[in-house]
Each structure stands twice: as C-alpha cells, then as structure tokens.
Structure 1
Amino acid sequence: MSFQDDLRRFGPGSSARVTRDEAMAYCARLAATHYENFSVITWLTPREHRPAFASIYGFCRWADDLGDEVGDRDESLRLLAWWRDELRAMYAGEARHPVMIALRETVAQYAIPIGPFSALIDAFVQDQHVAEYQTFEQLLDYCRRSADPVGHLVLYVAGAFDEENARLSNQTCTALQLANFWQDVARDLAIGRIYLPREDRERFGYPDADLRALRFTPQFRELLRFEVGRAREMLERGRALVPRIPGPIAVDVDLFSRGGLAILDRIEARGYDVLSSRPALSKLTKAGLLARAVVSLTLARRGRRAARAASPPVEMAPAGSSGGRRP
C-alpha cells in the first residue's frame, strides 16, 4: 500500500479505527518496508524491544512522508501540524492514529518525553521553509532536530539515556545525517534541496552553476573530501558510545556507526564523485558490517569478563575491625 493510500485511510478526518494488535502489526510492516541504508530492526535486536523500535520508526516514517511525499508545501505544513496534534493527543491519552496507538505503549514502557518527537516534527517543518544552508553551523543546528532526537529515542529504549551518552549519540547521529547528505547530493538537488553549505562551496571555488549542472570537477572533489573528513571524525568520536550501551542493542548502534563509515569509504573509493551515480552498500557489505559488529562486541565483552576474572578477590574484614576492607 502506498503512502497516499495510507494517508487517505488514516489521515485527517479519518474515521478508521484499529485495535492495539492491528496498530502493532501496521508499524512492523512499515519497518519491514524501509528504504534506508540499514534495517531499522535486525535479527539481533532483542525481541522485547522490536515493537518499540517499529513504533518509533512508524512515527518518523509518517513525519518524513508528510514532509516529502505530498508535493505541496502548504499542504505539507498543514499535515505536519495535524501530525503534531496527533502526537499531543497520544500523550494526553487519546491516541487515534495506528502509529500513535502503538507508540503510546512505547512511551509508557520506556518513560519517553515528548521532546524528541516534537523536535523531529520541527525538522520536517523546517524542510518546508529552508532549501539551502549558508553555513555548516546552520546545518548542524538542523541535524540537532532532524537526527539527534532519533539517537535519544534509542537510548531511552535501551535504558541508557544520560547526558554523556546523549552527547556521544549526537556525534553519531549528526555524522550519519551528514553521510547521507554527501551520498545524496544529486538526489536532494532533484527535489530542490542543497545541504552542502554555501560557505564551503565558495571556499573551494565550486559555483552554483556547476552544482545545478551536476558537474564533477576538481573543486567538487576537494569540497566533498573536506565534508567526508568532518563526518568521519564525528563518527569516530561517537563510537565511544557503543560499549556504554547495554545488551544486544549495542550491536545495532555499532552497525549504524560502521555503516556510516562504510558509506564514507564508498564515497572516497569512487574519488568523491557522487554526482554521476549514488554510492550505495551491497547486501554482502551490509552482512559483513553486521558480522563485524557482532564479533567486536563479543570480543569486548569477553575481554571485560576475563579482566574481572583475573582481578584478585576482595576479602571483607571481620566484623568490628577498623579496616573495613583489606587486600
């Protein structure tokens, strides 16, 4: 079923009602028919967390489609305002849309505040008003709404949300967003959006006329080399988050981080020419990244267990002694 079909069925004014189980199944289908670089839910994602990730994905998918698939800016803004109303209604205990019915359980189970969801809607609203970014700082500010909240939602589900983890997650999520921008320069231009900051294009001498004509020049190569390097540094810094995530969710976090690095590697391997065709990862490459993520996490945990086993036991001092503990 297409998004337009779903919009007619579940959009504003719809009288359709679904059960809790139907809402869960609907979100699971959305998550299974994604078109991103990596699966939202892998076979290693703990089964108990899969409905939560599917409902979060359903929320993001609808917000994204309302912003990008409608074809009319004013109508998109109207629909995004409706989607925000649906979110508020869900938090008020009046979920109506199937995604919101499923999301209600996720929000209650993991005590997720409304902030990350609201920020994501803000980003899609911004897309309707801003088609080009003048500075890199402006682009980073956009990523704080369009990318970073997703990482916060993952942390809540993992039971690992704190200030430091959020900071590291922001590095990873912003870098992944940037990697997607550099991968999709031509695709974004086709829908009227330019994410390569103007200050950087001017710095490397790559004029608007060349960009709009999709001319791959030495200037563009150096420009994208610079942007890829920025994203790579952020991903490397963010990788410190992986060992801080409990359980198998760490594998998914590691996979997305490795995937972002793989996209940057693919861009670099083709000499930074993303204008003639879009660099993408093969299924074999994705499988290899997943395997490496699993092995890396397994070895890290094995090492921690070995270190604990090698530590000398701590003996408790007899009751009443002044030492408390002794070697």
Structure 2
Amino acid sequence: MSSTPSPVRAAAPTHYENFPVASWLCPPRLRPPIAAIYAFARTADDIADEGDATAAARLESLRAYRADLAATARGGAASTRWPEVFGPLAAAMREFALPESLLADLLSAFVQDIEKTRDRAGYADRAELLDYCRRSANPVGRLLLHLYGVTDARSLAQSDAICSALQLINFWQDLGVDLPRGRRYLPRADCDAHGLAAGDFERFAPLASTAPPSAAIALVASEVAWARALMQEGAPLVHRLPGRAGWELRFVVQGGSRILDKIEAQGCDSFSRRPAIGPGDAPLLAWRALRMRRQSAA
C-alpha cells in the first residue's frame, strides 16, 4: 500500500542562540522554511569557523556549498555532501521562491570572514563593518520578511537596522572569544580615536594578567551605544509585521537589547567575560516585549 512521503525538514537548531529561531511564535506553515534557512546559514558558518581545517580547505568547501546552492536554485540536484541542508532548502525555495541572491550574500560574508581571519585583517571603519553586516546578517531578516510577504522599503530598512544591530551585538559580546582567534571586528578608526592599536588588545585577552585599560572600556561603550541606536532605529518594525511575526520580532529586539544591558552591567568589559542570556532573563524579556509602545512606530 503506497503512502504520501513526508516532507523533508531541516534539523532542529542545536547551537546556542541569543535569539529565538523558528519558535512556537512562528506560524506553523513557516516553521519549515525558517528552519531550512537557519540550517543553511548555520552549516555555512560551521564550515567557516568550526574545527581545525585550514583556510584553504574552508574556502574550497564554501565554493562547493555555493555550487550546491546554485544547483538547488535552478531546480537541479545538489551534491550528496549536505543533504540535511539542501533537501529542506530545495523544498522551501520551490514553495516560497526564496531569493538565491540573499542566500549567496551570506556565503560571501563567510568567505570574507575566513580571508580576514587568515590575514589577521580587520575593518577600517564602521562603513566597512556595516557592509559586512549587510551580507552576514541583513539577508536573514529580508528572507523572513519575504516569507511574510512584507516588501515595502521602510520595513526592509528597519529590518536591516535590526539585523545589523544583532550582528554588532554579537561582535561586542564575543570580544574575548574572537580577539585571541584573530577575528578583529573593532573598526580601526574607532580604535585610533581611543588611542588603541591592534597589538594592544593582546595584553588583556582572556587569561592575560592585565585588565583592559580605560580606553578599551570607553571604546566598547561607544560600540554598544552604536548598536543600541541601530536597534532603536529598526524597532518600530515590530508594529508593522502581522500577528505572530511581530511578537517574534519583539523578543528578538529585546534579546539583543538585553545583551547590551549585560555588557554595560559588567563595565563594558566583554574582553574578560562573555555575557549571555539565560532562563532567568525570560520574565524580563517577556515584560519588555509586552510593553513595546506602538507610538514608537510613528
């Protein structure tokens, strides 16, 4: 007796996340494509960042991953290397017409990360860092808006502001993790403005005996303020999205803002200790999400 095959679904998220991914707040119909987008991005990020592969090997894997994306977008067969990614993604692209270009932008950002880490290179200024965010974070928001059928310019710009803010928050949260690994996201122009050079940060990395100087603390405080301003710029979007999507986004905005609160609460020293959201933050996040005021959308 024949039966209808079950749809291919992406695996559930297994990595630590500050922010909800395909949570119960998402409409059930959209959970599979959201999970497929997450799996695509998370796997590419792991290729770029996890394990002990060489930069050359990582770049080669991402080239193969990009080729599989192109094949999937054409309706062809991907390779057999990542069936758990491209099976669900193919279904999502067919049903929801996900733009290949946005997914490709994510891969472009991962390639840039590998190359900059390999070369121990950083970012000249905030404009260059925001261009990275445009490809590493903003496509995720635009893909979600695409699923919800939201396409107006104002909503897209607010989504970009939120996603760039989330990416920056992740950078300032992870300074103590990234700097020892050669990942430099603090813009050189900002460092110069505070009298800091790239080599200065090695002296107060985790396990170092020297505490961060006041100039480094002031630098992080300025970056936190920048990220918060971007988040506030995009926050009115929560009132423009329909139903559950707006509530999901409220928790995303409040999750990012809570990390900024925690960085400030530890004296803007995220070189020595990484702040994170825990179960104890849930009531506060829910309260803040509930109280986000509609007049901010004006």
* Selected match of 2:212 from 190, 212, 216: 216
Q: Aligned equivalents of 1:137 and 1:286: distance in 2?
A: 34
Deviation of residue 287 (structure 1)? 4.6
2:42 pairs with 1:52: no
Q: Aligned equivalents of 1:67 and 1:126: distance in 2?
A: 10
* Selected match of 1:162 from 152, 171, 177: 152
Deviation of residue 254 (structure 1)? 1.4
Secondary structure of the equivalent of 1:145?
helix
Q: Aligned equivalents of 1:296 and 1:91: distance in 2?
A: 41
Q: Aligned equivalents of 2:265 and 2:43: distance in 1?
A: 34
2:96 pairs with 1:110: yes
- Residue 68 of structure 2 aligns with which residue? 86
* Selected match of 2:59 from 63, 66, 77: 77
Change (3 A) 1:205 1:168: same
Q: Aligned equivalents of 1:236 and 1:20: distance in 2?
A: 45
Q: Are the aligned partners of 1:28 and 1:51 in contact in 2 as well (CA < 8 Å)? A: no
- Residue 175 of structure 2 aligns with which residue? 185
TM-score (norm 2): 0.87
Q: Are the aligned partners of 2:8 and 2:91 in contact in 1 as well (CA < 8 Å)? A: no
Higher deviation after alignment, 44-53 or 78-87: 44-53
Deviation of residue 21 (structure 1)? 4.1
Which deviations, in whole Å up to 9, do the C-alpha atoms of 1:21-55 show, x marking residues without a partner? 4741xx233x2x12121231222222111111110
Q: Are the aligned partners of 2:123 and 2:186 in contact in 1 as well (CA < 8 Å)? A: yes
Which amino acid letter does the alignment assign opposite residue 28 of structure 1? Answer: A
Q: Are the aligned partners of 2:19 and 2:256 in contact in 1 as well (CA < 8 Å)? A: no
Change (3 A) 1:265 1:81: same
Higher deviation after alignment, 111-120 or 93-102: 93-102
Larger Rg: 1 or 2? Answer: 1
Size of the aligned set, in residue pairs, is 277
Structure possessing the higher relative contact order (Cα contacts under 8 Å, 6 or more residues apart): 2
Q: Are the aligned partners of 2:254 and 2:285 in contact in 1 as well (CA < 8 Å)? A: yes
2:11 pairs with 1:28: yes
Deviation of residue 209 (structure 1)? 3.3
- Residue 126 of structure 1 aligns with which residue? 112
- Residue 255 of structure 2 aligns with which residue? 259
Deviation of residue 135 (structure 1)? 1.3
2:35 pairs with 1:39: no
Higher deviation after alignment, 86-95 or 223-232: 86-95
Runs of 4+ off more than 6 Å: none
RMSD: 2.0
Q: Are the aligned partners of 1:258 and 1:289 in contact in 2 as well (CA < 8 Å)? A: yes
Q: Aligned equivalents of 1:290 and 1:90: distance in 2?
A: 39
- Residue 45 of structure 2 aligns with which residue? 64
- Residue 310 of structure 1 aligns with which residue? none
Which amino acid letter does the alignment assign opposite residue 80 of structure 1? Answer: L
Q: Are the aligned partners of 1:95 and 1:104 in contact in 2 as well (CA < 8 Å)? A: no
Which amino acid letter does the alignment assign opposite residue 72 of structure 2? Answer: M
Please, which runs of 5 or more residues in structure 2 have no aligned partner?
Answer: 205-210
* Selected match of 1:141 from 124, 131, 135: 131
Which deviations, in whole Å up to 9, do the C-alpha atoms of 1:111-164 show, x marking residues without a partner? 221111000000001112123112111111111100110110110111213322
Percent sequence identity over matched residues? 39
